[in-house]
Each structure stands twice: as structure tokens, then as C-alpha cells.
Amino acid sequence: MALTGLDIFKQLPKTNCKDCGMSTCLAFAMALAKGSTELDLCPHVSESAKKFLDIASAPPIRSVIVGVGPNQLTLGGETVLFRHDKTFINQTAIVIKISDTLAPDELDEKIRNINGLSMKRMGQRIGVNAIAITNCSQKPETFKAVVDIVAARAKNLNLILLVENAIALEAVLPGIAAQKPLVGSATANNWQAMVALAKRYAVPLIIKGNGLNDTAALVEKVASEYKELVIDTGMRNTAKVLVALTNIRRLALKKKFRPFGFPTIAFTTAEDPNDEIIQAGVFVAKYASIVILKADEKPYVLPLLTFRMNLYTDPQKPIAVEANLYEIGAVTPESPVYVCTNFSLTYYAVEGEVLNSKIPGYIIAVDTEGTSVLTAWASGRFDAQTITDFVQKSGIAEKVSHRTLVIPGYVAVISGKLQEKSGWNVIVGPQEAVGIPAFAKAYYTKDA
């Protein structure tokens, strides 16, 4: 964090008592600054020093947990403004909103629909994270009934209770608090009652202000009592929300402005589901921890979930596709066999161009731990031996009648050795995937 070892040292007893396990208080302070030990190990530190150090060493944006169990959400905890600076950490929660005024059969249908918003792409399951229920009926008992139905039927989804009436919230919480729903909103008018409830039932709370300054003032008041908070600026205009969320993130990270050191929530306003997804995309890109929307059909939700997946990919880690044998198009025993790495950009480039070539083919994506052709070759993960092993394991020999592999032009140097080790004939293909259609045409059309 921002504190140096010397800043911390000033707050310690300076007795060098070694009770913390370190030889001196200075050594302990240095270890604290590095984050390699914990302040609790010092039994003699004063309360005031503890408070000071706790505050100073707290992360700039707090992590807040919603829900329980394997699908629980961690919100916030971000440390950068741009993903290339390090990585974004906790994916924006995508949440579908429903009203407690739905008729029973409509509610049933909605819940079934939202439960189905979980889909597989690129070998990964992605889905929406929660259902938000609004108290449009204004009736506490209706709200409670609907919340209980949703909780019982959408067991894999977290809950968000959008209700500003503390009485209605109080009606619901005893039965549902154990599932740790996010509740709110606490506003300038109701915050004392809402904070008391959130505290009593230990559930996270949305603080809704009116613009940045007002929101900061309200959060400051509440945060001295309760810290499991999510910020809503109250703004709904897309352009203004973009600016507000950017300012919140900047203030939290660059100025350590405490009232904004919490996760944020944004709401779509567009009526058309297409416009709504585009609007939600802006909020995912620019710093919302939660986006609440109404669009609940797969073709709308899939692109948004994919964008979130892309944005939150760790840029320091190469991404990999499953190392496997892939069939592209209507393959036959005569189809060509291309060998490449399992770095996703390599694989998808090759896949795209094999498709483009209009000559169906097999792709063997060798496990190179997600590194590209040259990197993998240089590090021994894409040499004659590893490729031979993988080709044998892949089962390609049973699928094709020929014994010819096409390897990337960049590793032409291994062709002799690969031929020798694998017993397969090896053709050196183009260096870049874009050359595959021309290559395939030259080699395979006459035989096909």
C-alpha cells in the first residue's frame, strides 16, 4: 500500500521485544509494508496506532461479498484504471431485474427464463449472476411472497432486493438474510433505518445518493457505522454515469478518497433490449461492479457476458483453448491435419483460415500452456517430441487414412526430426494462418 516501512515503524512500540517473531520493530514494519506479515502478530501495538494502520493499509476499493456458496459474488476490490496496468479482478455482476407485481404464471416463466441464462462458449460456462426484485407493488407482504418464491426457485442465483421501504425490507430479511442478499437502497431519507437493518442481518447495502457530491457525503455518514456497501450515484443518463463511475474509480485509486472506496452499481434505462445491452456494455467497460438490466433473452445476454469475459481476462496470462483434436467442417479420412499450439489467438486464427479455405480439416492444438508457436518452440513445448506425443494421444491416426501433418512455417526447422519421431510425413505450411487457404488449395484440391 501507500505506507512505507518507516511510516509504519513510527506507529510501533519500538521496544524490539521480538514477540512478533522478528528481531526488531523495524524489520516487522518492513515486512508489514511488503504485506508479508500481519499487524495482529504484534501484541503491544496501541489501539490508535492499530486504527491508523488499518485504515492506511486498507485496499483502495473494498471487496464486498454478496450471496453464499459456490456462486457467491465478490464485488469491487479493483486496483487499476486500465486492464493493461495489471488486470481487472472481480467481474461485473450481470443482474436481471424483475418486479414483484408479476402475476404468478409470469413470475414462473421469468424465473425459468433467467435460470436458463447460463451458456457455454469456448469450453467455459458463463451466465448471469443474480436476480434483482423490485418492490413496485409497494406492499411488504407481496414483496416477501415474491422474494421467497424467487429464492426457492433460483437457487443458483444471488439475490438483490431493491426496496427503499424499511418496513418491507424488514418483512423479508428474517427469512432470507442467511443467503446474504444485497439490499437497498439507503437514501438520504431512510438511511438510518436501512443501515440498522443491514447491520442487524449482516447483509450488504446499496447507498443511493444524488450525484457525486451528495453520494460521497451520504457514504461518509454511513461508512462510519457500516462498511458492507455498494455505491449508486443515483444517476441514470449513460454519458453522466460513464463520467461519474470514472471519477469514482479515479478518486478511490489515485486519491484514496475513502467514501468512493466501494463497489458500484449501474442501471440500464433503454427500453429496446439491443440498446439496453449496448448501454450495459458501457457500464461493464467503465467500472460498474454490478449492472442491472431487464433484457433476459439468450441472444442479448450472450454478447454482454462475452464482453465481460474478454475485459476481465488477465492480460498477463496467455489464454488457452483446450488442447485437443478439432474437426473443422465436414471432415473425411482424406482431410488435411494441421498442427498448431493451444494459444487461443493462434488457434482461432488457424481455425478461421481453415474454414476460409473451404477444405475441411483437422486441427491438433498441442498443449503449449497457451503460448504462441515461436514462444512454445523456444521453450521446448512445441518440439518434435512434444508434438509426436500429442499426435499419438490425439487419436488422429484412427480418423484419417493418410499420414501427413502440416506444421506452421515458423517451425520449419523441426520438420525432419518430427518426421523421424512421429513416423508421419511432415509438410511445412505457411508462416501465418492467413496463408492457409492458398496453401490448402495448392496441396489438397487436386487430391480431394
Partner 1 sequence: MNLDSIKEKYIGSIHTVTLGATKDQGGTRTNTVTVGGDATLPFLFFEGEQSNKAVVAIEIWDIPPTEWNSVLQDAYADVFSNPVAWAQKAVEFGADLILLRLKGGDPDLGNKTPEQLANVVKDVLAAVGVPLIVIGCGNDEKDNSIMPVIAAVAAGENLLLGMAKNDNYKSIVAAALVHNHKVLTLGTVDINMCKQLNILITELGLAAENILMDPGSCALGYGLEYTYSVMERGRLDALNGNERLAMPVVCNVGHEAWRAKEAIAPEKDFPDWGNQAKRAILWEALTATSLLQAGANIMVMRHPEAIRLFKNNVNELSA
Binding site for partner 1 (CB under 8 A): 82-84, 119-122, 212-213, 216, 238-239, 242-243, 246-247, 250-251, 254-255, 257, 274-275, 277-279, 281-282, 285-286, 297-300, 302-304, 306-307, 309-311, 313, 315, 344-345, 348, 352, 434, 437-438, 441
Q: At what angle do helices 140-153 and 104-115 cross, to 10 degrees?
A: 40
Q: How far is the CB of 283 from partner 1 (least distance, A)?
A: 10
Q: How far is CA 426 from the centre of its chain?
A: 41
Pairing of strands 337-341, 73-76: unpaired
408: left (phi over 0), alpha (psi -120 to 50) or beta: beta
Q: How far is the CB of 84 from partner 1 (least distance, A)?
A: 4
Q: Which residue has the cell 443518463?
A: 237
Q: How far is the CB of 447 from partner 1 (least distance, A)?
A: 18
Q: What is the DSSP letter of 447?
A: T
What phi and psi, each to the nearest 5 degrees, are found at residue 215?
Answer: -60, -45
Residue 61 buriedness (CB in 10 A; 0-12 / 13-18 / 19+): buried
Q: Which residues contact 73 (CB under 8 A, 6 or more apart)?
A: 65, 66, 67, 90, 93, 129, 130, 158
Query: What is the chain's length?
Result: 448
Q: Which is nearer to partner 1, 260 or 390 (CB)?
A: 260
Q: How far is the CB of 114 from partner 1 (least distance, A)?
A: 14
CB 287 within 8 A of CB 76: no
CB-CB neighbours of 35 under 10 Å: 9
Q: How far is the CB of 166 from partner 1 (least distance, A)?
A: 28
Q: Which is nearer to partner 1, 65 or 302 (CB)?
A: 302
Q: How far is the CB of 284 from partner 1 (least distance, A)?
A: 9
Q: Which residue has the cell 418492490?
A: 135
Q: Which residues contact 424 (CB under 8 A, 6 or more apart)?
A: 391, 403, 404, 405, 418
- DSSP states along 119-188: EEETTEEEE--EEEEE-TT--HHHHHHHHHHHHHH-TTSEEEEE---HHHHHHHHHHHGGG--EEEEE-T
Q: Which is nearer to partner 1, 11 or 279 (CB)?
A: 279
Q: Which is nearer to partner 1, 5 or 352 (CB)?
A: 352
Q: Which is nearer to partner 1, 298 or 403 (CB)?
A: 298
61: left (phi over 0), alpha (psi -120 to 50) or beta: beta
Q: Which is nearer to partner 1, 204 or 429 (CB)?
A: 429
Q: Which is nearer to partner 1, 141 or 432 (CB)?
A: 432
Q: Which is nearer to partner 1, 5 or 116 (CB)?
A: 116
Q: How far is the CB of 373 from partner 1 (least distance, A)?
A: 14
Q: How far is the CB of 255 from partner 1 (least distance, A)?
A: 7
Measure the CA angle with vertex 31, ends 25 and 34; round to 5°: 145
Q: Which is nearer to partner 1, 19 or 297 (CB)?
A: 297
Q: How far is the CB of 17 from partner 1 (least distance, A)?
A: 43
Pairing of strands 324-328, 337-341: unpaired
3-state class (DSSP) for residue 68: coil
Nearest one of 201, 131, 192 to 162, comparing CA atoms: 131
Q: Which is nearer to partner 1, 17 or 434 (CB)?
A: 434
Q: How far is the CB of 433 from partner 1 (least distance, A)?
A: 12
Nearest one of 350, 359, 360, 414 to 382, comparing CA atoms: 414
Q: How far is the CB of 365 from partner 1 (least distance, A)?
A: 15
Q: Which is nearer to partner 1, 202 or 438 (CB)?
A: 438
CB 28 within 8 A of CB 37: yes
